[in-house]
């Protein structure tokens, strides 16, 4: 039996009080915080790392907009505003192939651009802080407990938006959720985790010449190339680290001598289990070095390559998804479905097992109901942990989807205070008008 101890009774100091507390500073959290502030609320945003940005910044991720081409219909709003700002700061690059119009962000500059945006909107950031549990009074979530170098504290708020990616607070508040198991033999349909890495001393000219000579190696629009190195290594009977991702390597941006973000390693991980995370992080670092060795041996241009950096942490693709008032399905996406409670349009384009990602001008509407957990009154959920079926997750975990759902949940939280209603009971017509005012395309 698991050994347990009793925590001593304690009184917890309140660090901050606000209209809206945004839990987690990834794309969903950024969307939620800016939208709530724009709708007139006082806002705090709490983040466990020392910077905002979520997976794009933690993992030095590649382009945020999967499959974006000239005709792709985008929701706009906070994502578009951020992209404009990043371009003004000369901190984004086109991927090195066409016709994709997705931009590769400089993920280091992204952190600073986000500091500016948050402060300009009068939002109070609280970094280096882990949100540990909901504070519940008379059955209503009225804040969160946090842990940091300052010790155990609390943040109180009239409305909360769980943007942790893992629905940490919704789950601990007792809201029902779904989660795939890792399974004892690690044979799982849970999406793998990835530690992205950078390489320096790359002969980028030689690498690009090889790609130009073999355009068939580019898997457009999924921003992947099929590594000739991996093919050659396989043919030579060289062990491929690790199995499960064929010959593909995702690599979008090269500077003089540097391949800044190489996405190749795939490791099983349960992102809600600290032991699993620890083991996966250690295994991933080993896999990165094995991958680099293989690229050095077999990939044109990588002969003298050296490890430039591991990303801050491995990226987790999938954990919990809440069971919300509505569950988004793949049929909704493929059927370009419209909803009465639409809060944004979103392009029909998804990768995933057995699917080929194709950019089109087709779109569907994102319904508000996927952000509304059961059993909690003033708590909404945004980002990759919204209510969606497993297959729809290939769309609902996109960065731009997280921005859009975050913006809707943040605006709904702020408006519901003005309306004297629960966040789940917000007047939808008023929410839609507010989102349109904030530059979101909803239909
Ligand atoms: C390796 C990798 C590559 C990817 N590539 C792409 C791509 O090319 N295009 C694309 O669209 N999508 C991509 N994705 C998916 C996408 O990055 C995520 O699904 C998206 O970032 C989800 O946004 P989010 O805001 O919901 O969550 P996250 O980005 O995970 O942000 C959650 C934030 O909350 C913080 N947090 C979590 N728990 C706590 C807590 N308890 N206390 C305090 N803070 C907390 C985290 O530190 C983080 O900053 C990729 C994912 C991975 C892992």
Sole residue written with tokens 């794309």: 27
The Cβ-side half-sphere exposure at 263, using a 13 Å CA radius, reads 22
Q: Whose CA is nearest to atom 50 of ligand 1?
A: 317
Tell me: the pLDDT tens digits for 9-20? Answer: 789 999 999 999
pTM for the whole thing?
0.96
* Residue 62 CB–ligand 1 contact under 6 Å: yes
Sorting pLDDT into bands at 50, 70 and 90, what band is 25?
A: very high
Q: Which atom of ligand 1 is nearest to the CA of 383?
A: 26
* Residue 250 CB–ligand 1 contact under 6 Å: no
Instruction: Determine the average pLDDT of the residues in 294-300.
Output: 89
pLDDT for res 65? 76
Sorting pLDDT into bands at 50, 70 and 90, what band is 185?
A: low
* Residue 398 CB–ligand 1 contact under 6 Å: yes
Q: Which atom of ligand 1 is nearest to the CA of 27?
A: 25
pLDDT for res 233? 81
Q: Separation of 193 CA from ligand 1 center, angstroms?
A: 11
Residue of 28, 61, 169, 191 best suited for mutating to test ligand 1, as the one with most atoms within 8 Å of CB: 61
Q: Which atom of ligand 1 is nearest to the CA of 385?
A: 26
Tell me: the pLDDT tens digits for 395-423? Answer: 999 999 999 999 999 999 999 999 999 99
Tell me: the pLDDT tens digits for 47-75? Answer: 999 999 999 999 998 777 777 888 889 99
* Residue 163 CB–ligand 1 contact under 6 Å: yes
Q: Separation of 253 CA from ligand 1 center, angstroms?
A: 20
């Amino acid at each position: 039996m698991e050994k347990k101890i009793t925590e001593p009774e304690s009184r917890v100091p309140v660090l901050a009080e606000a209209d809206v507390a945004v839990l987690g500073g990834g794309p969903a959290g950024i969307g939620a915080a800016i939208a709530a502030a724009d709708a007139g609320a006082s806002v705090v945003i709490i983040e466990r790392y020392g910077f905002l940005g979520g997976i794009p910044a933690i993992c030095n991720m590649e382009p945020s907009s999967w499959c974006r081409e000239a005709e792709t219909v985008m929701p706009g709003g906070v994502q578009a505003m951020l992209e404009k700002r990043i371009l003004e700061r000369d901190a984004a690059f086109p991927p090195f192939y066409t016709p994709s119009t997705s931009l590769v962000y400089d993920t280091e500059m992204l952190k600073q651009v986000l500091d500016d945006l948050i402060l300009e909107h009068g939002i109070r950031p609280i970094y280096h802080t882990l949100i540990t549990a909901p504070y519940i009074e008379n059955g209503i979530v009225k804040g969160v407990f946090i842990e940091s170098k300052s010790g155990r504290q609390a943040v109180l708020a009239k409305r909360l938006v769980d943007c942790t990616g893992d629905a940490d607070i919704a789950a601990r508040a007792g809201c029902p959720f779904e989660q795939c198991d890792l399974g004892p033999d690690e044979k799982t349909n849970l999406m793998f985790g990835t530690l992205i890495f950078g390489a320096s001393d790359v002969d980028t000219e030689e690498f690009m010449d090889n790609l130009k000579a073999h355009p068939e190696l580019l898997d457009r629009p999924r921003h992947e190339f099929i590594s000739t190195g991996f093919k050659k290594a396989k043919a030579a009977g060289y062990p491929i680290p690790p199995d499960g991702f064929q010959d593909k390597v995702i690599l979008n941006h090269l500077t003089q001598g540097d391949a800044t973000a190489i996405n190749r390693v795939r490791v099983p991980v349960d992102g809600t289990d600290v032991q699993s995370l620890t083991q996966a992080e250690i295994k991933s670092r080993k896999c990165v070095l094995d991958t680099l060795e293989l690229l050095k041996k077999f990939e044109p241009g990588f002969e003298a390559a050296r490890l430039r950096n591991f990303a801050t942490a491995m990226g987790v693709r999938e954990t919990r998804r809440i069971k919300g008032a509505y569950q988004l399905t793949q049929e909704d996406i493929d059927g370009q479905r419209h909803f009465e409670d639409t809060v944004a349009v979103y392009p029909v384009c998804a990768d995933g097992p057995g699917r080929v990602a194709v950019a089109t001008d087709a779109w569907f509407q994102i319904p508000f109901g996927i952000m509304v957990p059961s059993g909690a009154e003033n708590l909404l959920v945004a980002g990759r942990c919204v209510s969606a079926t497993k297959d729809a997750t290939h769309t609902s975990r996109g960065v731009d989807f997280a921005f859009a759902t975050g913006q809707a949940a943040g605006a709904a939280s702020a408006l519901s205070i003005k309306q004297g209603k629960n966040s789940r009971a917000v007047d939808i017509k008023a929410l839609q008008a507010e989102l349109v005012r904030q530059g979101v395309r909803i239909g």
